[in-house]
Amino acid sequence: MSATRTAPPISRAADRGRPRSFEQANRRLKWTMLAPALAFVGLMIVFPLAFTLNLSLTDAFGAVNAGKGYVGPQNFADALTDSRRFWPAVERTALFTVGAVLIETVLGLALAMLMRKPFRGIRWVRTVLVIPLLTTPVAVGILWLLILDPTNGIANHLLSSVGIPPQEFLGSVTQSLPILMLIDVWQWTPMMTLLLLAGLSTLPEEPEEAAHVDGAGLWQRFRYVVLPMLVPTLATAVVLRSIDALKTFDILYATKGPGGGSSFEVETLNVYAYGLTFDYQEYGLASAVLVLFTLAIIGVVALLRRRPGRGSA
C-alpha cells in the first residue's frame, strides 16, 4: 500500500502576501492608481488653506513675504468687531445669496416644469436658454452697465415710453444690490432650469399617472407627487447654486468697482477681502476675513445638506 502524497505546506508569509480574492486585488489597484491624483488634489487644497490660516495669525502688511509677527486671534477679533465694513458685508452677502438663489430656484423649477413635456421648438428654447451661461460674468456686467446707463441706456428709454421716470439703477445706493441680484438671476436661472429638468426626466411617470386617474388636479400632482420625488435633485441644485452665489465677485467688481461702490453699497465679503488685500495690503486681516468666510460657507453647506426629519441628538 503506497503512501498518499500531500502537497507541501504553504508558508503563512507567502499566504499573507497573496491577495485573498480578485476584488481585493482590484481594490488595491484602484487606490494605487488614484493615490497620485488624490495626493495632488489634497496638496492643492490643504496648502492654500494652511497658508491662509497661518497668515491670518500675523500682522502681515505691505507684502506677504515681508517681516511679520504673530498676533494670535487679534485679526479675527478686529474683523468680528468691525461694525462699519465687516458686518454690513456679511449682511449684503447673505441678502444677495438668499434673494438670488430663491428667485432662481422658483423660476428654474417653473421653466423646468414647462419644458418637461416636448413641444414644437423646444430645441430652440433650450439653445436660447443657455446663452447667458456661455457669457463670462465680466461681460455680463459690462452688458448690463450699457443697458442700465442712466443717460444713454435702453432701459430708461423703454421706461420713458410708458411714462415711468428715469431711474439711476446701478448709480443708486439703494437700487444697486437688487439690480445686481436680478442680473445674477438672469445669468444663472438657466443652470437651475437644466439641473431640475434633468431631475424631472429621471422621475417615474406611474405615480403621477395614478394620481391623475384618482382625480388629482395639476397643482395637487405637482405638490404631492412630483415635488417630493424631486427633493433630492432640488436640494443638490440649491446647494451648488448657493455656494456659487456666495463666491460672487467678478460681476460686482465689474459693475461697481473697488469697495462695491462709493458707499460700499454692494460690498460683499469677497469684495471686502479683495479690497483689504490689494487696495490696503492688510494681508493678515484679509486672511482672517477669508478664513471666517470659508467657515461660513462650510456651515451653510452643512445646513443645506441636512436631510429633512433628521433631528439633533
pLDDT, tens only, 208-255: 889 888 888 889 999 999 999 999 999 999 999 999 999 999 999 999
Q: For the segment 34-74, what is each residue's pLDDT rounded down to a tens digit?
A: 888 888 888 888 888 899 999 999 998 887 666 688 999 99
Identify the pLDDT of residue 311. Answer: 43
DSSP label at residue 85: T
pLDDT band (50, 70, 90) for residue 312: very low
Cβ distance 189 to 130 under 8 Å?
no
Identify the pLDDT of residue 309. Answer: 44
Identify the pLDDT of residue 42. Answer: 85
Cell, residue 302: 452643512
CB atoms within 10 A of CB 13: 8
Identify the pLDDT of residue 213. Answer: 86
The strand pairing partners of 58, in sequence order, are: 70
pTM of the predicted model as reported, rounded to 2 decimal places: 0.83
Is residue 310's pLDDT more than 50? no
Mean pLDDT of 275-297: 92
Q: Please state, in angstroms and rounded to a whole number, the distance separating the CA atoms of residues 53 and 38.
A: 22
Q: Please state, in angstroms and rounded to a whole number, the distance separating the CA atoms of residues 300 and 246.
A: 10
| Cβ-based burial of 248 (10 A; exposed 0-12, middle 13-18, buried ≥19) | buried
Say what percent of the chain tops pLDDT 90.
Answer: 55
